[in-house]
């Protein structure tokens, strides 16, 4: 079954490449794929995912590390005992809130049909009781709306938002899933007006990747901005959103953004819904967000973490940290990691075989 799935994925990739009017000549594509395949001794799937076969891509495809190599390094050096602190949203909140880092306000949580709202714990045994609990969550929110997400979830899966006007619909559509799952309920973040210009239906967030050395020194590898699309309430890339790199020096967006290949491969220069141009769009409080990401990184022994931050009207808000995150999105948005000085230090410290490849770019 898995082999059949891979064959279908490969066939889809070939079809998309062949039908892309912006692709390089087939001879060039073939030579580049073979070259990467021999170098890395694995099929270079990032060549397709990163859209490196297009004429508007970066001209040095060999300077890209690729998703498999990035994941192998990350998973080898991050401690499994600490990743659970980041993966579980209640543990994350309990660990970081005492540090003074600004986090989203927690309104409550549930473990199956046991709900905790404020200081009250209740058992939900029917639809009417669930309606009462959801209403109490909304009433305790200063924004009159609630963002729900699975306690151990990721990639925006299972998240939803509700207010008083949508409680009945939530109960009808998601009630069974709620009382049979584990959710955390947060006050909906009010984002900075400038960030809302990009896509007002979602809270558009920064992903800032940090590397912490064994000596505790922290630096930022890259950053990109994620935006929702099609009026989605989530900004997650795997849910169809788009993303674009951020210049670490200026805090401004770079020229080209992306939509992942499974959502019709495309390179964007402006948001597909709002039309806002990416190039030179300034992210408010960007440098403050970088400082918060570095502070959070110093507080855990994890070497590589992708930190998600929202930008509120008066500054950054740390939403979560991700140890098992899609680092390839960072390279796709930010550029060639074999030329990234912080990633170069990471592989010098932990991946000599990759560092040997990187030396050709000195």
Give the separation between CA 315 and CA 328, rounded to whole angstroms: 28
Q: What is the pTM of this model?
A: 0.91
| CATH code, residues 77-102+192-353 | 3.30.470.20
Query: Can you give the pLDDT at residue 1?
Result: 52
Helix axes 89-96, 80-87, angle to 10 degrees: 90
Query: Can you give the pLDDT at residue 83?
Result: 86
Give the separation between CA 180 and CA 166, rounded to whole angstroms: 20
Say if residue 263's pLDDT is above 60: no
Give pLDDT tens digits for 163-209: 999 998 988 888 899 999 999 999 999 999 999 999 998 899 999 99
Q: Which residue has the tokens 């082999």?
A: 3
Q: Where are the domains of the chain?
A: 2-73, 77-102+192-353, 106-187
Say if residue 349's pLDDT is above 90: yes
3-state secondary structure of 309: strand
Contact 190, 215 (CB under 8 A): no
Burial class (CB in 10 A: 0-12, 13-18, 19+), 122: middle
Give pLDDT tens digits for 33-53: 999 999 998 889 899 888 899
Mean pLDDT across 292-314: 96
Say if residue 277's pLDDT is above 80: yes
For the chain, the average pLDDT equals 89
Give pLDDT tens digits for 96-143: 999 999 999 999 999 999 999 988 899 999 999 999 999 999 999 999
Least confident of 2-16, 50-64, 281-295, 335-349: 2-16
Report the percent of the chain where pLDDT is more than 70. Answer: 92
DSSP-derived letter for residue 189 is P
Question: Which of the given ranges, 58-72, 77-91, 275-289, has the highest pLDDT on average?
Answer: 275-289
Name which of 188, 254, 200, 250 is nearest 225 in CA terms. 254
Query: Can you give the pLDDT at residue 262?
Result: 61
pLDDT band at 91 (very low <50, low <70, confident <90, very high): very high
The end-to-end CA distance of the chain, in Å, is 44
Structure tokens at 7: 């064959």
Structure tokens at 143: 């924004």
Say if residue 6's pLDDT is above 70: no
Query: Can you give the pLDDT at residue 233?
Result: 59
Contact 107, 137 (CB under 8 A): yes
Contact 190, 155 (CB under 8 A): no
Give the separation between CA 220 and CA 297, rounded to whole angstroms: 10
């Amino acid at each position: 079954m898995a082999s059949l799935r891979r064959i279908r994925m490969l066939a889809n990739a070939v079809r998309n490449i062949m039908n892309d009017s912006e692709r390089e000549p087939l001879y060039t594509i073939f030579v580049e794929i073979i070259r990467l395949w021999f170098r890395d001794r694995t099929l270079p799937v990032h060549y397709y995912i990163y859209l490196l076969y297009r004429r508007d891509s970066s001209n040095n495809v060999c300077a890209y590390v690729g998703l498999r190599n990035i994941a192998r390094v990350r998973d080898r050096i991050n401690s499994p005992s600490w990743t659970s602190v980041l993966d579980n949203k209640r543990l994350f909140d309990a660990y970081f809130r005492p540090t003074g880092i600004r986090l989203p306000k927690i309104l409550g949580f549930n473990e199956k049909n046991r709900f905790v709202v404020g200081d009250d714990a209740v058992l939900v045994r029917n639809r009417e009781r669930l309606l009462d609990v959801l209403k109490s969550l909304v009433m305790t929110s200063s924004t009159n709306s609630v963002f729900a997400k699975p306690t151990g979830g990721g990639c925006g899966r299972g998240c939803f938002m509700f207010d008083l006007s949508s409680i009945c619909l939530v109960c009808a559509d998601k009630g069974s899933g709620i009382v049979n799952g584990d959710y955390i309920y947060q006050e909906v973040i009010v984002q900075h007006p400038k960030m809302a210009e990009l896509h007002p239906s979602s809270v558009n967030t920064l992903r800032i990747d940090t590397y912490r050395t064994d000596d505790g020194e922290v630096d930022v590898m890259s950053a990109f901005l994620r935006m929702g699309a099609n009026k989605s309430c989530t900004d997650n890339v795997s849910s169809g959103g788009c993303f674009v790199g951020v210049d670490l020096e200026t805090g401004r967006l770079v020229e080209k953004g992306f939509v992942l290949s499974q959502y019709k491969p495309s390179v964007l220069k402006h948001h597909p819904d709002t039309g806002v141009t990416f190039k030179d769009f300034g992210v408010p409080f960007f440098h403050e967000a970088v400082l918060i990401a570095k502070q959070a990184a110093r507080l855990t022994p994890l070497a590589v973490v992708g930190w998600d931050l929202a930008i509120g009207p008066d500054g950054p808000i740390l939403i979560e940290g991700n140890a098992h995150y899609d680092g390839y999105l960072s390279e796709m948005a930010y550029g060639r990691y074999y030329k990234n000085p912080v990633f170069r230090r990471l592989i010098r410290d932990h991946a000599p075989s990759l560092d040997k490849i990187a030396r050709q770019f000195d």
